[in-house]
Amino acid sequence: MRSVIAFIVFFMTDGIACSQNLVPNGGFEELNDCPNNGGQLQKTTHWFRGGVSSPDLFNICDGMDTCGVPRNIFGYQFPASGDGYCGMWAFSNASLPGYGTHEIIGVRLSLPLTPGQTYWASFRISWTSSFPSPEIRTRYATDKMGVLMRMDSVFEVWDWQPWPDHAHIFTEAVISDSLGWTQISGQFNADSAYSFLYLGNFFGDDQTEAILVDPDGNTDISYYYVDDVCLSTDPLDCDIHIGSSEVPILPDIRAWIGQGGVIHLDGLSAQVPIHAMVYDSSGRTVLSWTGGLDNGIFSGIGFPSPGTYFLRLIMERSARTFRLIAPNQ
């Protein structure tokens, strides 16, 4: 089997429908129950853990900061789409009893693959940020997150030992973006009638590049949020655009807060209709606004206090999140 290195697209999207997606519940939206603690992947339908460790589930239904959205114990992130996402270890630089160094999640496909057929796979990941002061601050970012197809269901981490050091698609880039979502995608030719899709880091530590991103972190792991898992014979079903369209719909934009609580935006046309929301570090909405820009600014925000806020801009099916610092007035 020949592995195909993934295409990587740095952008955020909202509400992408995959009509031919063979991955049931690819956005982790269908729940058996609301998650309220770590390691509760079983509270979403179809998915299961692929090892002895415990992947996590996050959803807006949890009103606390443990498994909530956008704020939870690992950081602060809005879903790529819908109301939730899952989270998992990709690497550990510490020997922690009872935990594998990698976490794997799996799902039975709605239909087995057809041998000889070309398939496209994609998913979105976001590195967990170290702000605003989550309970767990991860120190490392890594590469090698990917998708591996198998014929059988795997529930124990030792069934992966030694790690296969290959995947049907994976990224060779270290992903350290904690504000947006990075799409990992690629194509492969099915050599068997695979019935299960697994997602994670399938490479040994000697094959994984780990970069220390947060020296002040308190946990020697690399951890990623995961959303929008898709597998299809048509790349457009998985929102994979080949060629010149493989660029962010929202251009390069710079955002900051000026005197008087004015949000300035550079790089976005005043004629572009957008929906803007501003949240404080606890996830509380302090502004929700729809329309165009007035000479590149939103005015009259009236931030309640100095500190860090998050600006979320949505245009058509794309979105982007900015971290803003409100100065002392």
Q: Which domain holds residue 161?
A: 4-245
CATH number of the CATH domain containing 317 = 2.60.40.3080
Q: Do 284 and 164 fall within a single domain?
A: no
Q: Do 168 and 264 fall within a single domain?
A: no
Contact yes or no for 312/10 (Cβ under 8 A): no
Out of 188, 211, 245, a domain closes at 245
pLDDT surpassing 80 at residue 94: no
Contact yes or no for 97/38 (Cβ under 8 A): no
Out of 210, 245, 280, a domain closes at 245
The string over 295-327, giving b where at least 16 C-beta atoms fall within 10 Å of a residue's C-beta and e elsewhere, is eeebeebebeeeeebbbbbbbeeebbbbbbebe
Of the listed ranges 10-24, 211-225, 244-258, 291-305, the one predicted with least confidence: 244-258
Is the pTM of the predicted complex or chain greater than 0.75?
no
* Separation of alpha carbons 292 and 277, rounded Å: 13
DSSP class of residue 27? T
* Separation of alpha carbons 146 and 3, rounded Å: 10
The 3-state DSSP class for residue 302 equals coil
Q: Do 263 and 187 fall within a single domain?
A: no
> 115 to each of 153, 168, 190, how far by Cα in Å?
19, 14, 5
Q: Do 47 and 134 fall within a single domain?
A: yes
Give residue 52's pLDDT.
66
Q: Which backbone phi and psi does 65 adopt, to 5 degrees?
A: -90, 5
CATH number of the CATH domain containing 196 = 2.60.120.260
Q: How confident is the model at residue 150 (pLDDT cuts 50, 70, 90)?
A: very high
Number of domains observed in the structure of the chain: 2
